[in-house]
């Protein structure tokens, strides 16, 4: 037959083995906690106090104060009612303090997670815009999200953001300037304002730069890709309106003919009879 495992009851920071030790180290707050957990009754059973264990188990009380009064009576401890009330008040105060501290720690941890997720989302958005540098609709949505969710972070690192995207995705800088809530963060910043002013060039100069770059490599540098279009269509010898904007033609096939709206009307070449 197995024997019950004996254990000590911790009261007032000291291990207790018997009733004498319980009375010598009597601590109502500890005893109340052991009663709530069921440890007190189990300790009485394994230590050979079945009657006291039964009394504790059958004890009926509606409040913690009544429990403390009954425990003091069961273990024959003289306790003044006012002292019990004061002890209970201090116990409740300590419990509330622990709960408040636990809530503060949990709140700080939750806030830290939220801040971390916020920063990670901002970094993911920047990387996504860099990866979709030629996708204008995507970049528009990205700048909208930047303004709606990450304006505070953008304001803090606007210099690094501006320098990085000006060199890699200048179209994003244009979209920032077109966004009312973000525009002042750039234009009201002296360093960024001066940098923007140094970049402003006449349209003719921009077109010339594109043309020179194309002549050298027969390809369009990434920085100019968003501004370059491609048209291919079988027109069956009919004139087709392609665009109303002034454009620079980088390359055209020998069979294609081009004219502008303000140019003299082209001379139509009659078709040869079959």
User: Would you place residue 173 in the very low, low, confident or very high pLDDT band (cuts 50, 70, 90)?
Assistant: very high
Specify the pLDDT at position 1: 52
Mean pLDDT of 244-265: 69
185-236 pLDDT, tens digit per residue, is: 999 999 999 888 777 655 556 667 766 776 677 666 665 566 666 677 777 7
Q: Is the pLDDT of residue 179 over 70?
A: yes
Mean pLDDT of 153-181: 92
* Most confident of the ranges 83-97, 98-112, 183-197, 258-272: 183-197
* pTM of the predicted protein model: 0.42
Give all strands (DSSP E) within the chain, no chain letters.
9-11, 14-16
Q: Which of 159, 122, 115, 160 is nearest to 143 (CA)?
A: 122
DSSP 8-state code for residue 25: T
Give CA separation, 65 vs 89, 104, 274, in Å. Answer: 10, 29, 115
User: Would you place residue 147 in the very low, low, confident or very high pLDDT band (cuts 50, 70, 90)?
Assistant: very high
4-14 pLDDT, tens digit per residue, is: 778 888 888 88
Q: Which of 251, 244, 195 is nearest to 218 (CA)?
A: 251
* Most confident of the ranges 35-49, 102-116, 196-210, 214-228: 35-49
Cβ–Cβ under 8 Å, residues 224 and 217 = no
User: Would you place residue 100 in the very low, low, confident or very high pLDDT band (cuts 50, 70, 90)?
Assistant: confident
Q: Is the pLDDT of residue 129 over 90?
A: yes
Cβ–Cβ under 8 Å, residues 152 and 119 = no
DSSP 8-state code for residue 252: -
256-268 pLDDT, tens digit per residue, is: 777 766 666 655 5
Specify the pLDDT at position 48: 86
Specify the pLDDT at position 223: 56
Specify the pLDDT at position 243: 76
Mean pLDDT value across the chain = 79
User: Would you place residue 77 in the very low, low, confident or very high pLDDT band (cuts 50, 70, 90)?
Assistant: confident
User: Would you place residue 53 in the very low, low, confident or very high pLDDT band (cuts 50, 70, 90)?
Assistant: confident
Mean pLDDT of 151-178: 92
């Amino acid at each position: 037959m197995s024997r019950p495992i004996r254990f000590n009851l911790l009261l007032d920071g000291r291990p207790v083995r018997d009733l004498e030790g319980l009375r010598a180290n009597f601590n109502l707050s500890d005893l109340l906690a052991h009663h709530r957990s069921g440890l007190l009754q189990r300790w009485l059973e394994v230590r050979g106090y079945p009657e006291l264990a039964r009394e504790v188990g059958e004890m009926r009380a509606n409040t913690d104060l009544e429990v403390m009064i009954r425990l003091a009576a069961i273990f024959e401890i003289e306790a003044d009612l006012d002292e019990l009330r004061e002890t209970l008040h201090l116990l409740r105060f300590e419990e509330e303090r622990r709960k408040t501290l636990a809530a503060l720690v949990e709140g700080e941890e939750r806030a830290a997670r939220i801040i971390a997720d916020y920063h990670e989302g901002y970094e993911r958005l920047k990387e996504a815009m860099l990866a979709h540098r030629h996708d204008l609709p995507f970049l528009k949505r990205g700048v909208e999200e930047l303004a709606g969710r990450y304006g505070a972070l953008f304001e803090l690192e606007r210099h690094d953001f501006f320098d990085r995207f000006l060199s890699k995705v200048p179209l994003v800088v244009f979209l920032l300037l077109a966004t009312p809530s973000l525009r002042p963060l750039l234009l009201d910043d002296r360093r960024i304002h001066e940098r923007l002013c140094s970049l402003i060039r006449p349209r003719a100069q921009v077109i010339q730069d594109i043309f020179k770059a194309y002549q050298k490599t027969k390809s369009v540098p990434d920085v100019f890709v968003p501004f370059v279009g491609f048209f291919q269509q079988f027109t069956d010898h009919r004139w087709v309106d392609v665009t109303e904007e002034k454009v620079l033609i980088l390359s055209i096939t020998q069979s294609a003919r081009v004219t502008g709206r303000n140019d003299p009307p082209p001379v139509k070449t009659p078709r040869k009879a079959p």
